[in-house]
Amino acid sequence: MLSKYSRWLMYLNAILYAILGILLFIFPEQLAPVFAWKVTGFMTMTIGGWCLGNAWLGWWTARVWKWNRVFSAALYLWLFGIGELLVVWDFRDRLKLEHPIAWFYLITLIVTSLSAILGIFELLRARLSNTSSGPSLNFVQRLVTLLFVVFVGFLGLYGLTAQVGDVGTNGGIFPEIMSLFTLRSFGVFYLCIALAVLPYLWNHNFDALYHHSIASYGLIVFITLAALVYIRLFDFAVRPGGLLYFVAYLGVGIPLLFIFRKYGLNH
Choose among 237, 154, 149: nearest CA to 194: 149
pLDDT score at 133 = 55
Provide the number of structural domains found in the chain.
1
Helix ranges, 126-231 (H):
139-161, 180-197, 206-229
- Rounded to whole angstroms, the Cα distance separating 188 from 88 reads 11
- Rounded to whole angstroms, the Cα distance separating 48 from 23 reads 7
Domain that holds residue 187: 4-263
pLDDT score at 128 = 58
> DSSP code of 205?
B
Q: For the segment 158-210, what is each residue's pLDDT rounded down to a tens digit?
A: 999 998 878 777 777 899 999 999 999 999 999 999 999 999 999 999 999 99
Q: What percent of the chain lies above the pLDDT cut of 70? A: 96
Residues of the chain with pLDDT under 50: 131
CB 1 within 8 A of CB 107: no
pLDDT score at 140 = 93
pLDDT score at 144 = 95
- The Cβ of residue 255 has, within 10 Å, a number of other Cβ atoms equal to 11
Angle at 224 between CA 38 and CA 245, to 5 degrees: 80
pLDDT score at 131 = 47
